[in-house]
Structure 1
């Protein structure tokens, strides 16, 4: 996180709590866990101060030598913490440039453990490799070569993510963020049972907490994998895609499709429809089953997709959807290990080539997620003294 030392701090340097807070912040920057911005005037005052120990003054001296770069951070990041001495509670506001600002009494840094990274709570810590890849892509795209993103990854125990988030936020010892899957399989569905309590709780405390709960419009982390990885997993070749998409036909299908539809056939037809939004809601692990038709939004969405690709499917033939038939496959998925399998393919891909391989839908998701994680996890190259 970017911490900004405001000028009001200079008036309270004799306070032992402020000295300890600035020493903690300097140590966090030395270790590369967080970033610091202060104006040249503030840095020079801190460097000259007889109230501070030598160590924090040395760190501020090093930062002062790079003051022009520090100022650029104010434009690079959409979130920051401003350390001030003239308030007693956390305050949040949006500045004139639309950036989110947390005004934090500097005395709070006494309790905040800055020497460890911000906490990132995930439903499954295995998901972080995907988020880390998105962060690396976003850093490269923005040319932030001297920014390092660090997190202390905390497992949310699946459906227990809201409980873990609540415990960590109440503890007030760390910066705490979370990312949770929406579990939506169609655009107009409600959020899933895992994320609902998390967002409900966060909305009650968001204006006074040192953290953030984040989600974006995708079913789960597998939906962030680019389609070219699923093409390879489904043994779909470039020539098949080209011939199927480019051949002029009066119908999108070359033969009548019946359920369950194989993934490869479904993917080709969605390409033909140019409906990339479908890939945000598809359940890659389980596929689409009759369960996904149980609510009116899912029924309308998937019935329309199936109709558009030429599948003779009438959901009324399968009603009532109950415990006996709800698992009936409509479109095949893969398996519970699909994230690891597709990530192996993604991991072999040059980051510089990704812009040509990502759909516009996925680029938007990646940018939103990457920016969120960079803002909360940003640190620098560790400072080393001779």
Structure 2
């Protein structure tokens, strides 16, 4: 992440006088940069003043002198992202790409950690590594590394966990949520909706709702098709998945509940827009969606059979065994989704290399 020291700190912290205050914050952020947690930038003037300050350690001064001497390179790196976390003398309103944090909201350990990636399940991080690497390669950013600490929200407890972590004011947290949407027209699921209806006001984190049903739907169509053809217990889905995958621009894979599948009873109990969406898709590929006599969700008349709750692990194992590069299998819909998420991840988790011997 890019942390910017605002020029308002020059006067506020007395950097041009013999009465400097809040010097421990500059000591802290020097340590943050040296240890490779986050980039730290500022104006030439501010960096020059810090590099000659009498109120911080020699180690911190050397760091700011190094940043001053490498100013052009450091600013070029910051120009590769749109998001900046700004440390200022007093709070002001945030914008889409800028967070403004009052210097007094920092404590002795703020940012001395990697930023957190809060997921509903930790296994989800595998796909996000693929996604950020795709973004880095496509944008020629390979010289810049990234890192994160993964935390598990646990589905329904994710909202509370996000609140707990961000209240600590220790690091920035990106919380990624399943939408649980069953079609482009359906409502959000309960976990994502909670973040909308009960907003958590914080400068130390944000949430992002996936534009697909859940994390497993970020895997390319060809992977789901290959699993249906290559793993015996999923063979029942071979025909339907192969038919759906022939239409490369069909967005239906974004909304399939891979874990639970889709049966006739559930189809006819969706809201009318969702039901019509899926009936139209099945009609196009010649699948009968005639209503059955089942009276509850235990209906066994499946249009798409359940892949089960461990489908993410099954995908990871399968991809590992066949050695395929899933980044090469993206159609236009998935390419757009991956690059949107990749940009978000890179902005929050890009980080510098550790600086030894300073």
TM-score normalised over the length of structure 2: 0.88
CA drift of 1:150 comes to 2.1
Cα distance in 1, alignment partners of residues 64 and 267 from structure 2: 56
Matches within 5 A, 1:213-228: 213-228=207-222
Alignment partner, residue 346 of structure 2: 374
Q: Distance in 1 between matches of 2:324 and 2:3?
A: 35
Match of 1:280 in 2: 254
**Deviation string for 1:100-153 (max 9, x for gaps)?**
111222232235521111122111111112112211221222222332222222
How far off is 1:216 after superposition? Answer: 2.3
1:342 is matched with 315
Q: Select the residue among 82, 86, 99 that pairs with 1:82.
A: 86
* Counterparts of 1:17 and 1:169, CA distance in 2: 26
Question: Tell me, what secondary structure is at the counterpart of 1:116?
Answer: coil
**2:115 paired residue among 110, 115, 118:** 118
Secondary structure at 1:234 match in 2: helix
Q: Give the corresponding residue for 2:143.
A: 146
Please say if residues 146 and 381 of structure 1, whose CA atoms lie closer than 8 Å, have aligned partners that are also in contact: no
Residue ranges of structure 2 left out of the alignment (5+ in a row):
none
Q: Is the 8 A contact 1:84 1:105 kept in 2?
A: yes
CA distance in 1, matches of 2:20, 2:285: 70
Conserved? CA contact 1:17–1:110, under 8 Å:
no
**C-alpha RMSD over aligned residues:** 2.4
Contact conserved, 1:7 with 1:42, CA < 8 A, in 2?
A: yes
User: 2: distance between equivalents of 1:61 and 1:292?
Assistant: 64
Rounded to whole Å, the distance in 1 between the matches of 2:150 and 2:142 is: 23
Counterparts in 2 of 1:342 and 1:171: CA distance versus 1, 3 Å? same
The question of 1:43 aligning with 2:47 is answered yes
- Listed one character per residue, the Cα deviations across residues 250-302 of structure 1 (whole Å, up to 9, x for unaligned) are xxxxxxxxxx9942222332234444301101122222223244122321111
Q: Is the 8 A contact 1:134 1:366 kept in 2?
A: yes
Show CA shifts across 1:11-36 (max 9, x none).
Answer: 21367762111111111111111111
**Cα pair 2:225 2:242 within 8 Å, conserved:** no
TM-score, reference length from structure 1 = 0.82
Q: Distance in 2 between matches of 1:15 and 1:181?
A: 51
Q: Does 1:178 align with 2:182?
A: no
Per-residue displacement from partner, 1:46-94 (whole Å, max 9, x unpaired)?
A: 1122222212111112222321121123421121112222x2x353024
Aligned to 2:284: 308
Summarize the Cα distance change of 1:17–1:281 in structure 2 as closer, same or farther, 3 Å threshold. farther
Question: Is the Cα–Cα contact under 8 Å of residues 228 and 241 in structure 2 kept in the other structure?
Answer: no
Q: Which has the higher mean CA deviation after the structures are superposed, 215-224 or 71-80? A: 71-80
Q: Report what 1:2 is aligned to.
A: 2
Whether the 8 Å CA contact 1:90–1:209 is kept in 2: the answer is no
Match of 1:32 among 36, 39, 47: 36
Pick from 264, 282, 302: which aligns with 1:329? 302
How far the C-alpha of 1:345 sits from its partner, in A, is 4.4
| C-alpha distance in structure 1 between counterparts of 2:46 and 2:298, whole Å | 69
- Picking from 221, 229, 232, the partner of 1:235 is 229
Q: Please list the CA deviations of residues 213-260 of structure 1 after superposition, one character each: whole Å capped at 9, or x if unmatched.
A: 111210111111112222321227xxxxxxxxxxxxxxxxxxxxxxx9
When the two structures are aligned, how many residues end up with a matched partner?
A: 347
Task: Classify the secondary structure of the residue corresponding to 2:351.
Answer: strand
* 1:91 and 2:89 aligned: no
Q: Equivalent residue for 2:62? A: 58
Alignment pair present for 1:127 and 2:105: no
Distance 2:19 2:287 in 1: 73
C-alpha spacing 1:39/1:135, structure 2 compared with 1 (3 Å):
same
CA distance in 2, matches of 1:2, 1:82: 8
